[in-house]
Chain A
Amino acid sequence: MNEFSLMGKIAVVTGGGSGLGREICLALAGAGADVVIAGRRPGPINEVAAEIVKSGQRAAAIPTDVTDSGQVNSLIEKALAEFGKIDILVNNAGIAKGVDPSGNDVLAPPARSLWELSDEDWSYSIATNLTGTFYCCRAVARHMLERKSGKVINLSSMGAIRVVKGMFGYCTAKAGVIAFTKTLAITWAGDNIQVNCIAPGFLPVVEMAPEMRARTERFFPMGRFGIPREIGPLAVYLASSASDYVTGQFFPLDGAAGATYAPTGYLPGT
């Protein structure tokens, strides 16, 4: 099972303080990596760093807003100064109304009409979900190319291909992440750097009332939502040498929701 091990690897994870980002940090550390956790709020990233250190790996928390390229460049510089290299970059920082686990949703609810979507909401969605990924990749580019080694994991979403009514900015940005992933993968394929994206379906990271949960879960093919920690092993696989021939790919993590063509439970011919 050595090919899945991340022993001796250094990972940088954006949006690593909470939600799926936190799960990714813990999984990478669990597979042997040392982790640099970036996020806007110091509290959560410090907590994740402490948890990783307690488990025996090294960790550092670096407050970063990925929409600011200066902060992103500084994140990568600090990570390199402290750990000497970066093997794995996970671009997880992202935002959508009702999805931001910090509870600090700054976006308006999905627009009912396109004219209700403000310049600011559109730009903020694109800036965080897409441009932030570009900034981080650009910041590690020289380092990874010089070493001819690296793994980039971008967080797209099933919302990129099976979209949600009114979520223009989010779905568009996440679809942009797919094209960016493929372009970067092809560009760096000859340099032994693999670039892939994960597309989570519904893996709620905020508490739900149990009856609400039970009522909703039966509409999902497997009869349940995803559990946030189920993203962990996929990140480990894509970060490890087990995936050295995998690049430019889109990895759904959606419990078969993306395969549907009719409501769950509908059986044609009955």
Chain B
Amino acid sequence: MLEEFRLDGNVAIIASRGFSWIKELALSLNQAGARVTVATSDREKINEITAALPGQDVLCIPTDLNNSREIENMVTRTVSQFGKVDILVNGLNLELWKPLLDMTEKEWQGVLQANLTAAFLCSKAAGKYMVAQKAGSIINIVSGLAERGIPHGTAYCASMGAVLAFTRALALEWAPQNVRVNALGVGWAESQGVGDEKDLLARYIPARRRARAGDITPLVVFLASQASSFMNGSFYIADGGLMARA
């Protein structure tokens, strides 16, 4: 049974901007057996991952995820290095907290570009190979704010909700080709320097603590693997009960 959760022989791409747990996710996918490309413009993260995961299984490619040509080159390099691509994880999370009346059009478009358009570009570039091989799994990591609201979060919430709608539509479009597309919802993530006791958000969460990397990475592995072969076009949430509470 546990073999179904393994990713041996698979190739995964993690496209990330602002996702906190790239290193942990790359490690989990790799430990499950996948070879992994990490695509991000965050040099610091790349250095961190290169130090933590040396070897031939993990490829870090500095990529501007606003640039379709760089994304295509990143996917092409992945395929030439590893032979194919089976899994795409979009960890796109540019946060902007600002009152609507103060928000510029450029800021609004920047959030939509970073969180939504990059998901479109990466899905298109990697999905081409998945559709051709009639197998693949795309996992869009979003906030629970895809289905909720918060003051000063208009652009961010709109981008998250849009990724969810994009997920459903693409899932139906590529279902005949056996390429699955799901969204994974993350609750409030742990941040440094704030203890759970004094943290207003941690106290609001029924589990009484914020999310950690290990709360999310197994769900990504599960959704990437054959263990979830009939799970498609849905939104799966790991948030300590946050979305269920009044």
Chain A residues within 8 Å of B171, by CB = 221, 256, 259
Most buried by B among A1, A249, A256, A258: A256
| A245 with B1, Cβ < 8 A, contacts A252-B234, A258-B233, A259-B168 known | no
Chain A residues within 8 Å of B218, by CB = 3-4, 237, 242-243
Among the listed B31, B238, B243, which residue makes an inter-chain contact with A243, where contact means beta carbons less than 8 Å apart? B238
Question: Are A232 and B1 in touch, CB under 8 angstroms?
Answer: yes
Question: Are A259 and B222 in touch, CB under 8 angstroms?
Answer: no
Among the listed A185, A227, A253, A264, which residue makes an inter-chain contact with B206, where contact means beta carbons less than 8 Å apart? A185
Nearest chain A residue, comparing its CB with the CB of B5: A4
Does A69 reach chain B (CB closer than 8 Å)? no
Q: Mark B16-51, 1 if CB is under 8 A from A, else 0.
A: 000000000000000110000000000000000000
Q: Mark B197-235, 1 if CB is under 8 A from A, else 0.
A: 000000000111001101110110010010111111110
Question: Are B168 and A242 in touch, CB under 8 angstroms?
Answer: no
Q: How far is the CA of A189 from the CA of B216 in the complex (A)?
A: 17
Output the least CB separation between B158 and chain A (Å).
20
Q: How far is the CA of A201 from the CA of B232 in the complex (A)?
A: 11
Among the listed A221, A245, A252, which residue makes an inter-chain contact with B238, where contact means beta carbons less than 8 Å apart? A245
Total A-B contacts with CB atoms under 8 angstroms apart? 143
Nearest chain B residue, comparing its CB with the CB of A240: B218
Does A101 reach chain B (CB closer than 8 Å)? no
Question: Are B1 and A27 in touch, CB under 8 angstroms?
Answer: yes
Chain A residues within 8 Å of B243, by CB = 248-249
Q: Which of B101-115 contact A (CB under 8 A)?
A: none
Q: How far is the CA of A185 from the CA of B215 in the complex (A)?
A: 17
Chain A residues within 8 Å of B1, by CB = 27, 30-31, 232-233, 236
Chain A residues within 8 Å of B215, by CB = 244-246
| A234 with B172, Cβ < 8 A, contacts A246-B237, A247-B207 known | no
Question: Are A253 and B231 in touch, CB under 8 angstroms?
Answer: yes
Output the least CB separation between B186 and chain A (Å).
10
Does B6 reach chain A (CB closer than 8 Å)? yes
Most buried by A among B4, B168, B216, B241: B241
Question: Are A233 and B206 in touch, CB under 8 angstroms?
Answer: no
Question: Are A247 and B206 in touch, CB under 8 angstroms?
Answer: yes
Does A98 reach chain B (CB closer than 8 Å)? no
| A186 with B5, Cβ < 8 A, contacts A221-B172, A260-B172 known | no
Question: Are A203 and B172 in touch, CB under 8 angstroms?
Answer: no
Does B239 reach chain A (CB closer than 8 Å)? yes
Q: Which of B174-207 contact A (CB under 8 A)?
A: 175-176, 178, 180, 187, 206-207
Does A47 reach chain B (CB closer than 8 Å)? no
Q: How far is the CA of A264 from the CA of B232 in the complex (A)?
A: 15
Chain B residues within 8 Å of A185, by CB = 206, 241, 244
Output the least CB separation between A162 and chain B (Å).
12
Output the least CB separation between B221 and chain A (Å).
8
Among the listed A182, A226, A242, A246, which residue makes an inter-chain contact with B230, where contact means beta carbons less than 8 Å apart? A226
Chain B residues within 8 Å of A122, by CB = none
Nearest chain A residue, comparing its CB with the CB of B165: A259
Question: Are A255 and B230 in touch, CB under 8 angstroms?
Answer: yes
Output the least CB separation between B215 and chain A (Å).
3
Does A100 reach chain B (CB closer than 8 Å)? no
Q: How far is the CA of A204 from the CA of B32 in the complex (A)?
A: 31
Question: Are B175 and A246 in touch, CB under 8 angstroms?
Answer: no
Nearest chain B residue, comparing its CB with the CB of A192: B207
Q: Mark A217-251, 1 if CB is under 8 A from B, else 0.
A: 00001110011001011101100001111111101
Across chains A and B, which 5 residue pairs bring their CB atoms closest together, nearest first?
A248-B244, A30-B1, A256-B233, A189-B206, A233-B227
Q: Which residues of B contact A (CB under 8 A)?
A: 1-2, 4-6, 31-32, 168-169, 171-172, 175-176, 178, 180, 187, 206-208, 211-212, 214-216, 218-219, 222, 225, 227-234, 236-241, 243-245
Q: What are 17 A-B residue pairs whose CB atoms fall within 8 Å in the complex?
A: A1-B32, A27-B1, A221-B172, A222-B175, A236-B2, A237-B218, A237-B219, A246-B238, A246-B239, A247-B206, A248-B243, A255-B233, A256-B175, A256-B234, A257-B233, A258-B234, A264-B172
13 more contacts with CB within 8 A, not counting A222-B176, A256-B233, are A30-B2, A222-B230, A233-B228, A237-B219, A245-B187, A245-B207, A246-B219, A246-B237, A246-B239, A249-B238, A255-B231, A258-B234, A259-B168
